[in-house]
């Protein structure tokens, strides 16, 4: 159980296209399989188109809710999958930026993988934090006041918990860190 007395719940935020398939599907399945309620949110109600390696179109996945209907108080964590296009679109989506800021302000967990930390850069949440990402974000993170490291998973606690990983090869460690943080069954 979470500190709030509710079962841990996770909001997974994505744009409508350009999501790295495994970075959306693997956390959704694994967290659900381990007893964590997961809600998939997207900017709109239409299906989300996943891709493999940013270039190969793959599955369509329907979101559960829109970002505009997501309320920080209803969730224990925010998980931001990568995909270059997904992350680029999310960082210019007001609802996504506001949600990320809201989770941090509420002292909740925010987890981002691969290009997902771009949203955190835009939300001004990396200043003073140590994190990882896809290597091409290193300069962006450093310029935003964060310390970039090349590690499988990085967990930083300072008022709120930030969990980051580099790419789909790190999904096992990424999901494990989220499960540990939420006290999964």
Catalytic residues: 114-115
**Residue carrying the six token digits 């329907």:** 62
Enumerate the β-bridge partners of residue 102. none
Residue pair 87/17 in contact (Cβ under 8 Å)? The answer is: no
**Residue carrying the six token digits 């590690």:** 151
Q: What angle do CA 126, 37, 169 make, to 5 degrees?
A: 55
- 83 Rama class: left (phi>0) / alpha (psi -120 to 50) / beta: left
Buried b (16+ CB within 10 A) or exposed e, 3-15: eeeeebbbbbbbb
Question: What is the number of other CB atoms lying within 10 angstroms of the CB of residue 74?
Answer: 12
DSSP state at residue 75: -
């Amino acid at each position: 159980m979470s500190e709030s007395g509710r079962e841990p719940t996770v909001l997974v935020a994505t744009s409508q296209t350009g999501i790295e398939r495994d970075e959306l599907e693997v956390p959704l399945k694994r967290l659900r399989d381990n007893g964590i309620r997961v809600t998939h949110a997207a900017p709109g109600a239409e299906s989300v188109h996943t891709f493999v390696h940013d270039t190969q179109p793959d599955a369509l996945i329907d979101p559960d809710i829109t970002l505009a209907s997501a309320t920080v108080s209803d969730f224990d964590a925010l998980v931001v999958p990568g995909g270059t296009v997904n992350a680029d679109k999310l960082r210019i989506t007001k609802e996504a930026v506001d949600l990320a800021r809201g989770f941090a302000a509420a002292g909740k967990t925010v987890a981002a993988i691969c290009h997902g930390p771009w949203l955190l850069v835009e939300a001004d949440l990396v200043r003073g934090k140590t994190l990882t990402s896809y290597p091409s974000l290193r300069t962006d993170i450093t310029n935003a006041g964060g310390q970039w490291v090349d590690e499988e998973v990085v967990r930083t606690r300072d008022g709120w918990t930030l969990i980051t990983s580099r790419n789909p090869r790190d999904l096992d460690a990424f999901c494990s860190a989220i499960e540990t943080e939420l006290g999964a069954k």
